[in-house]
Structure 1
Amino acid sequence: MIEPARIDAPDGDLPDLIAEVAAKGEALGQKLHPRTAENLAGFVRIMNTYYSNLIEGHNTRPRDIERALARIDEEDEKRDLLIEAVAHVRLQARIDALASEGRLPDPAAPDFLRQLHHDFYEGATKEMLAITGRGRSFEMVPGEWRKGEEQDVEIGRHLPPPSDRVPDFMNYFYRRFAFEPTDNLLLAVGPGKGKRILAMATAHHRFNYIHPFPDGNGRVSRLMSHAMAHKAGIGAHGLWSISRGLARGLSDGPEGRLEYRQHMAWADEQRQRDRDGRGNLSLKGLSVFATWFLKVALDQLEFMTQLFDLETLAKRIERLVARHEKFAPEAVHLLLEALRRGEFERGEAARLTGMPERSARRVLKDLTQAGLLASSTEKGPVSLRFPSDTLEALFPKLYPDAMV
């Protein structure tokens, strides 16, 4: 039912797109100091969460997500949305950390996907787990596939496989999309960057086609795609987000938001005559989706490459300091030092600014209070940070204007 699961002979724009995505993914962030890149990845996770929420129809401002990472008020009217947002940020941080340590599991593995779902809903309220509608009502169990007739679903015109077949479908999904084949996974993707990049696109659709969980499938699929990008060698230390592209599409304006659903629906279509592959589903529909998905990925890689260009970012930092009423002009030297070196000792402030010790400490304090410089310990070296109130100045067009 889910074949063709992969595209074995890509044609049209796909070969060039795969090559461009591979090249851009390898190059993104290479000029940045690893510590600066790590801190940027932390702010990208908040962006990723915002856009993943937007796809689900939820608006959670970047500033609200940032605050929620520290504390969520019991009485907050958006409490449930913020619990989900914090879970998304922390899960993506874990994926990024496992990837950097070389310990990231195969993203298509059923155990990995169930764990993602379980951990996403860890700490969820009863209201978040309640599934109602179409004459049914039950409480979802985090990390468990759909089971029982009451958990059969219908998504628009698409009818996913019945719940009692989900385990078989997900085992087959693993056989087709495993990045690390074993003797029992002869149909797996296997090594090869190009194959993995293309499989990342088709796996995203086929996972959602199966719709293995009662709820939360979209979020899990986007986290899975993020993990697959790492495994394909284009994760760029977490410096880009497929969620932003899926939420925005390739068109400016409201019509871009419809592209994701339209292309997912086209890939749901059944085979059209003899020249449309040999599986149950349309090979042409899957190719159209994969082409769009990789164009979105390339668009985001190019956007983030421009945004994180070292010299361009340095100029934005200079403008930020010049326009800030509280910062002394010498503050720019500390920020640029942190940008290029990754971090510096607090005692270096006087030398870097050319100011007397007491004045330099005051400049450093202003930057730490503003959240632009921070350290993991009270007196440790400081590194560059990116608080939400600097996004407009440092990273224009990252969010819709109303969200900044």
Structure 2
Amino acid sequence: MKKQKPAKKPARDISSLRPYLPGKTYMGGLKDLAQEVASASAALEGRVAGATADALGGHLRLINSYYSNLIEGHKTTIPDIEMALQKNFLDDPEKKYAQQLCAAHVETERSFMAALRTNRASNICSSKFLSKLHAAFYEHLPAEHRFAHTQDGFSDLPVNPGEIRDVNVSVDGRTPHGPGFEQLPALMNEFAKNYDPYRFHGDERLIAMAAAHHRLTWLHPFRDGNGRVARLFSSLYLVLAGINQSNLWSLSRGLSRKKQRYMMELWAADSPEQKNGKHWFSEQLLADFCNFFLLTCLDQIQFMENLLRLDQIEARIDWYVDMRSKSAEKPLRPEASRLLRAAFMRGSISRGRAGEILNMSQRNARRIVATLLDEGLLVSSSHRAPLVIGLPLHVLPYYFPDLYNPSVIGEQYMVNSE
């Protein structure tokens, strides 16, 4: 997505975001599609124990970051993002910047998702919330990177994290994008009031999420970072709609893989119609965008359903442990697969049951548990807390061999499953 530049022409005078949702002509088909998205996502989440889903979803958060930043033209790898989260950066400035952007995305999404779990009453469409989201993202970047970024590199225009823009912007330096900055306060209030998730119920909330994504990208409320904020916002909106609460599929991946279509649908829905001397948004084009957006959600749910192949996970855990048991370096006991399978399928297991599951003495069981904890194959919040499945990067190609392609995960992490 091209970055904005100060516009040389005045912005269009669009006095309202109406229509907020497509009308009755289009809503029937969209409601059917929204129900399909909700059912498919619930079915996927229902196949994974809660603690296991959280562990897997936490790692897939890196996928959200990878693809959201790829849309903006910044490419890295999953291992490099993990390095960045540990404050370990590459020497190459361009690669380091991509690492920093992805790490900022992960940290921001993680903290805001956690906050939603304790305070779901927040209106995530309010200027206050969106400004906090924008500011949080840039707080994770060094000061020298808090300037609007163009195809030629950083400009001298400060981003002003969390502040609504006070300039008109353009993606090409000629055509104005979004409303004039003077109109933003009123339009942002209109956005907050009419897209508040709690105004909608059932399938309409998903349709509102799709429509709000377009309206927010058109509003372009900040000097830079609007695309990333809009995708973070939509992920949060999904959770408030009861969808993808464990983060088992990635909206950003779907939008990235259809980037050209995504840009075209956004641009088409931007096009206003002339009514009574004023510009209004097209109801049909908004419906087309919502249809594209929901189909992208459904496509990604089905993709992850096929890719994770959860019906085969126990066999793949056995495969990994069998491979490790034959390794000359740090071999695992073959019995360890029983404990890993139990942790994955049940979500968590008490330490006292390890011996029973392994069919051995507690002393020997503790040794296996200690080894698995040291490698991160099991995790626990304390020495007395239950054991939960761990998903370190090196094990994912074995547990989920089709999850990442080499360009994303890095060639060194790929394995031969034959």
The alignment's TM-score, normalised by the length of structure 1, stands at: 0.85
User: Counterpart in 2 of 1:224?
Assistant: 233
- CA distance in 1 between partners of 2:397 and 2:28 (Å): 38
2:20 corresponds to 1:5: yes
1:98–1:104 Cα contact (<8 Å) kept: no
Q: Please give the alpha-carbon distance, in whole angstroms, between the structure 1 residues aligned to 2:279 and 2:192.
A: 18
Shifted more, 258-267 versus 309-318: the winner is: 309-318
Structure 2 CA distance for partners of 1:106 and 1:384, relative to 1, 3 Å? same
TM-superposed deviation, 1:141: 1.2
- State how far apart, in whole Å, the 2-side matches of 1:400 and 1:247 are: 15
1:241/1:153 CA distance change after superposition, 3 Å: same
Which residue is 2:108 aligned to? Answer: 91
- Give the corresponding residue for 2:160: 141
Are 1:19 and 2:35 counterparts? yes
Could you report, residue by residue, the CA deviation over 1:93-112 in whole angstroms, capped at 9, with x for unpaired residues?
Answer: 23332333353512211111
Aligned Cα root-mean-square deviation (Å):
2.8
Deviates more, 1:352-361 or 1:228-237: 352-361
CA 1:341 to 1:281, structure 2 compared with 1: closer, same or farther past 3 Å? same
Aligned to 1:185: none
- The answer (yes or no) to whether the contact 2:45–2:244 under 8 Å persists in 1 is no
What SS does the corresponding residue of 2:177 show, helix, strand or coil?
coil
Q: C-alpha deviations, 1:11-45, integer Å up to 9, x for none?
A: 57423211101212333312322211221221121
What's the secondary structure of 2:223's corresponding residue?
coil
| Partner Cα separation in structure 2 for residue 152 and residue 89 of structure 1 | 29
Which residue number corresponds to residue 67 of structure 2?
51
Q: Could you say which residue in structure 2 is the equivalent of 1:71?
A: 87
SS for the counterpart of 1:59 is coil
Q: C-alpha separation between the residues in 2 aligned to 1:351 and 1:296? A: 45
For residues 38 and 5 of structure 1, the distance between their equivalents in structure 2, rounded to whole angstroms, comes to 34
Give the counterpart of 1:39 among 55, 58, 66.
55
Contact 1:80 1:125 in 2 (8 A): no
Q: Contact 2:67–2:256 (CA<8 Å) still a contact in 1?
A: yes
Contact 2:66/2:77 (<8 A) preserved: yes
Within the candidate set 208, 222, 237, 1:213 is matched to 222
- Give how far 1:298 is off: 0.8
1:266 aligned to which of 265, 268, 278: 268
Whether 2:131 is the aligned partner of 1:114: answer: yes
Name the CA distance, whole Å, in 2 between partners of 1:98 and 1:305.
28
| Residue of structure 2 in register with 1:252 after alignment | none
Change (3 A) 1:316 1:158: farther
AA in 2 matched with 1:316: R
Amino acid at match of 1:218: G
- Post-superposition offset of 1:360: 3.9
Distance in 1 between residues matched to 2:148 and 2:367, nearest whole Å = 54
Mapping for residues 5-404 of structure 1, pairs under 5 Å: 5-9=20-24, 10-11=26-27, 13-73=29-89, 77=93, 78-103=95-120, 105-131=122-148, 137-147=156-166, 151-156=167-172, 159-180=177-198, 190-249=199-258, 257-271=259-273, 280-307=280-307, 310-324=310-324, 325=327, 326-355=331-360, 359-378=364-383, 380-404=385-409
Q: 1:294: Cα distance to partner?
A: 0.2
Cα distance in structure 2, aligned partners of 1:136 and 1:47: 28
Aligned length: 382
Deviates more, 1:376-385 or 1:16-25: 376-385
* Maintained 8 Å contact 1:200/1:229: yes
SS in 2 for 1:143: coil
The letter for the 2-side match of 1:263 is E
Residue by residue over 1:282-319, the C-alpha shift from the partner in whole angstroms, topping out at 9 and shown as x without a partner, is 22222211111000101112233445564332233222
SS across alignment from 1:240: coil
Unmatched segments (≥5 aa) in structure 1: 181-189, 250-256
1:74 Cα deviation from its structure 2 partner: 8.8
Amino acid at match of 1:223: L
Of the structure 1 ranges 131-140 and 373-382, higher mean CA displacement relative to structure 2 is found in 131-140
**Could you list the per-position Cα deviations for residues 135-154 of structure 1 after superposition, in whole angstroms to 9, with x for gaps in the alignment?**
9732121100111xxx3211
Provide the C-alpha distance between the structure 1 equivalents of 2:89 and 2:60, rounded to a whole number of angstroms.
24
CA shift, 1:225, in A, is: 0.4
Residue ranges of structure 2 left out of the alignment (5+ in a row)? 1-13, 410-418
CA contact (8 A) 1:208 1:217 kept: yes
TM-score (norm 2): 0.82
Superimposed CA distance per residue, residues 350-387 of structure 1 (whole angstroms, 9 cap, x where no aligned partner): 33223455654443344333322111225543210212
Q: Residue type of the partner of 2:373?
A: T
- Per the alignment, in what secondary structure is the counterpart of residue 131 of structure 1? strand
Q: 1:271 to 1:164 in 2, by over 3 A?
A: closer
Paired amino acid for 2:201: G
TM-aligned CA deviation for residue 226 of structure 1:
0.9
Partner-residue secondary structure (3-state), 2:20: coil
Letter in 1 for 2:376: G
Of 322-331 and 111-120, deviating more is 322-331
> Cα gap change, 1:368/1:104 in structure 2, threshold over 3 Å: closer, same or farther?
farther
Q: What percentage of residue pairs aligned between the two structures are identical?
A: 35
Deviation at 1:175, TM superposition (A): 2.1
Give the secondary structure class of the aligned counterpart of 1:238. Answer: coil
